[in-house]
Amino acid sequence: MTPAELNVVVLAATTVVLLGVAAIRISTGAGLPSLLLYLVIGLVIGEAGLGVGFDDAALTQTLGTLALAVILAEGGLSTRLSVLRPVAARAAVLATVGVAVSVTVTSALAWWLLDVDPRTAVLLGAVVSSTDAAAVFAVLRTLRLRPRTRATLEAESGFNDPPVIILVTLVVSDLWHELDVWTAVLGFAQQMVVGAVAGVAVAVAGRWMLRRVALPSAGLYPLATLAFALMAFGAAGTVGGSPFVAVYLGGLLLGGADLPHRRATLGFAEGLAWLSQIGLFVLLGLLASPARLVDAVLPALVVGVVLTLVARPVSVWLSTVPFRVPLREQAFISWAGLRGAVPIVLATFPITAGLAGAERIFDVTFLLVVVFTLVQGPTLPWAARRLGVLEPAQTEELTIEHAPLEDLGASMLSFDIPAGSRLAGLKVAELRLPGNAVLALVLRDGRLSAPPPDAALHVGDQLLLAGPTTHRAAVERRLRALSRAGRLATWFGERGDQPRR
């Protein structure tokens, strides 16, 4: 590539990224999932628009897999373990039994209604039965859902990819003609167990290192944390496990640890996840051929209706009845099973394997994702209100960031005073922080000052404290207690323990 060509590539790539960023703002205002606009950008750039030809399904599959790894890592890092634990069992059943039921129902009805061969029917049912982490994380986090409902959907979307990937890989391989149930079950068990072990092992090592090593720059902590999460992906794939289970579980354990610069880490991971989504969906839009999509409209509608109105509700009901999930919540979980990048990426597997009719499977999947995301995404806020799964407005929990000062044996803590916090109105002298910790600086209305003991705190103040590392946990508990109960926190029995939602 010549320097002139490189300049053009960089210009084009940055233009696409900026268009993707603008699409986020447009989609938020219009109530549409941003992934649809990314696909449109890809279609506009492609053969029917600006004329850029792209038909490399193998490259799309590889880059799509890497993008999904980043998206799952960010999803794990930003999910609180305390929220996930109560719903782990039902999310696991949804991600396994639920997927099996959905694949079975969708495949059977597709074979009957569309008159396709059994292999094509199974592929259609498999590629569309996995809910998509990118779509779920992007859409649901704009809603104030009850923590258990949101955690169920996010955990399901994080863990239901491996079963489908294993099934699709087996069906497109030469093993299809001699495939038996035990082979599939044993392969699935190996992938899940080995992937989970690899994810936990790498995350434990990462937590140990990041807690004990003071890096020379704050910007290295987010980089190192995300690198450990993605290391879990590579390690699991190397030893025969599911990389997707490993990266999501590794992200969960790293995100649940008390690591330095947590807020900066989450911001860095979120930015990379958005970049991955933009690149992935634009690439998938480029790969699609609008001239072929017309013939796929009817099959896409048939499979989509079967999946959305029959297979998904049945799978959710069978998976959640043992956990006594209310019918209203079941209905929302069923409707919020969004499809996105994962089905379209999986639809490239038959193309790379050279199967007959593979392009038709891709076209049907592409159209199904576009049409049903367009139907389901904008209606989720209305459905959440009607079904009563929104959480009442609550005072925000205090979010405390810390950074180690290894040479001094001290830590710096920073946080903002949220609306409703009872820290507002307290005087600096009333904080009474353990371990001789001190409030060093306050940023208010763009002005930085060292507050005297009689200065009062306000909502929106940004505070910077310093104290011995050995007393950091006690200082954080004291601050949370004051934020919840005010100056008489101890008198009211409030100790400032970590929130359990």
∠ at Cα 153 (149, 158), nearest 5°?
145
Phi/psi at 35 (nearest 5 deg)? -60, -30
* Nearest-angstrom CA–CA distance, 421 and 402: 20
Please identify every stretch of the chain with a pLDDT value under 70, giving residue numbers as ranges.
27-33, 134, 137-138, 141, 175-181, 184, 392-409, 492, 498-501
Architecture of domain 401-488: 2-Layer Sandwich (3.30)
Q: Where in the chain is the domain with CATH 3.30.70.1450?
A: 401-488
State the pLDDT at residue 299: 92
The backbone region for 435, taken as left when phi is positive above 0, alpha when psi lies in -120 to 50, beta otherwise, is left
Q: How far apart are CA 78 and CA 254, in angstroms?
A: 10
Residue 472: the pLDDT is: 84
Task: Decide: helix, strand or coil at residue 177.
Answer: helix
Three-state SS string over 252-280 comes to: HHHHCCCCCCHHHHHHHHHHHHHHHHHHH
Best CA proximity match to 312, nearest among 238, 402, 376: 376
Contacts from 230-234 at CB under 8 Å and sequence distance 24+? 230/69, 230/70, 230/73, 231/202, 231/206, 232/198, 232/199, 232/202, 232/203, 233/69, 233/73
Q: Buried (b) or exposed (e) across 147-161, using 16+ Cβ within 10 A?
A: ebbbbbbbbbbbbbb
Q: What pLDDT does 158 receive? A: 75
- Which token pair is 317? 């009901």
Residue 500: per-residue pLDDT: 47
Q: What is the pLDDT of residue 471?
A: 82
CA distance 424 to 418: 9
Give residue 397's pLDDT: 60
Which 3 state secondary structure label does DSSP give 217? coil
User: Domain 33-386 adopts which CATH fold?
Assistant: Na+/H+ antiporter like fold (1.20.1530)
pLDDT, one tens digit per residue, over 430-474 is: 888 888 888 888 988 888 888 888 899 998 898 888 888 888 888
Q: Could you report the per-residue pLDDT of 8-26, keeping only the tens digit for each?
A: 888 988 988 888 888 777 7
CA dist., res. 129 & res. 160, Å (int):
9
Torsion, Cα of 427, 429, 432, 436 (10° steps): 130
- CA 272, 273, 277, 280 dihedral sign is positive
Element counts in the chain: helices (H) and strands (E): 22, 5
pLDDT of residue 332: 94
Q: Which of 303, 351, 369 is nearest to 121 (CA)?
A: 303
The HSE-up count of residue 223 (CA atoms within 13 Å, CB side) is: 6
Task: Please tell me the distance from the alpha carbon of residue 168 to that of residue 170, in angstroms, as a whole number.
Answer: 5
CB atoms within 10 A of CB 352: 16
